[in-house]
Amino acid sequence: MNRQELAQMIDHTILKPEATATDVEALVAQGVALGVYSVCISPSMLPIDVQGLKVATVCGFPSGAHHGSIKAAEATQSITDGADEIDMVINLGFAKTGQWDRVQAEIEAVRQATSSGVLKVIIESAVLTDEEIISACQAAKYAGADFVKTSTGMHPAGGASVHAVQLMKDSVGDSCEVKASGGIRTLAEAMAMIEAGATRLGVSASAAILAEMN
């Protein structure tokens, strides 16, 4: 894999709640210079000129505890505002109590709202047991998601792990892709996630990671 190929797997991300419009504009400019696939920003920052990049945003972020109808409405608004991809957070309370029908129903509602875009489902893998990771991935797959995603990067339990990415890829097979996100700061960490099965990376340290390939 060369530098350009790696860059095209990156969602260049800024989701800090204190991020300003100026910060987002700087992120876009840096993303263009780096040749990344997309920028991932908060929905309140839309619409924005992304200078030819894809634009991703989040939904039900970061807790996932929003009502399903609110998640669907948020996704609809983001698509209207120019988002190409929606990264939604599942309801972790439902997941931890085995209410997989409710998890799947929420994903289906957001899927319907994002029929013209890519849907990534954040399962917050560090919070879940292996069995719960598998069930969450199955719910996302059956609901028609395009990706399952490890983490918001905001939870104190942690972010992406190689084990979680492997388990998620095994769970969805070729039905979905896997996005690794949360705590990926070095080239070695990025490559380990790709080798485990990730086809997209959500990172804020894009410049540092890509610089290691120069």
Torsion of CA 149, 150, 155, 158, to 10 degrees: -160
Query: pLDDT band for position 6 (50/70/90)?
Result: very high
Q: Measuring CA to CA, how many Å separate 175 from each of 112, 168, 172, 178, 193?
A: 18, 11, 6, 10, 19
The catalytically annotated residue of 71, 120, 149, 169 is 149
The CATH code for residues 3-211 is 3.20.20.70
CB of 38 closer than 8 Å to CB of 56? yes
Q: What digits encode the pLDDT tens for the residues 76-104?
A: 999 999 999 999 999 999 999 999 999 99
Q: What digits encode the pLDDT tens for the residues 145-191?
A: 999 999 999 999 999 999 999 999 999 999 999 999 999 999 999 99
Q: Name the strand (E) or helix (H) holding 4.
A: helix 3-7
**Looking at the predicted structure, is the pLDDT value of residue 214 above 80?**
no
Query: pLDDT band for position 121 (50/70/90)?
Result: very high
Q: Full-prediction pTM beyond 0.95?
A: yes
The catalytically annotated residue of 71, 87, 120, 169 is 87
Establish whether 179 is a catalytic residue.
yes
| For the chain, domain boundaries | 3-211
The tokens describing 34, both together, are 């780096």
Establish whether 149 is a catalytic residue.
yes
Query: pLDDT band for position 116 (50/70/90)?
Result: confident
Establish whether 54 is a catalytic residue.
no
Instruction: Provide the mean pLDDT of the chain.
Output: 97
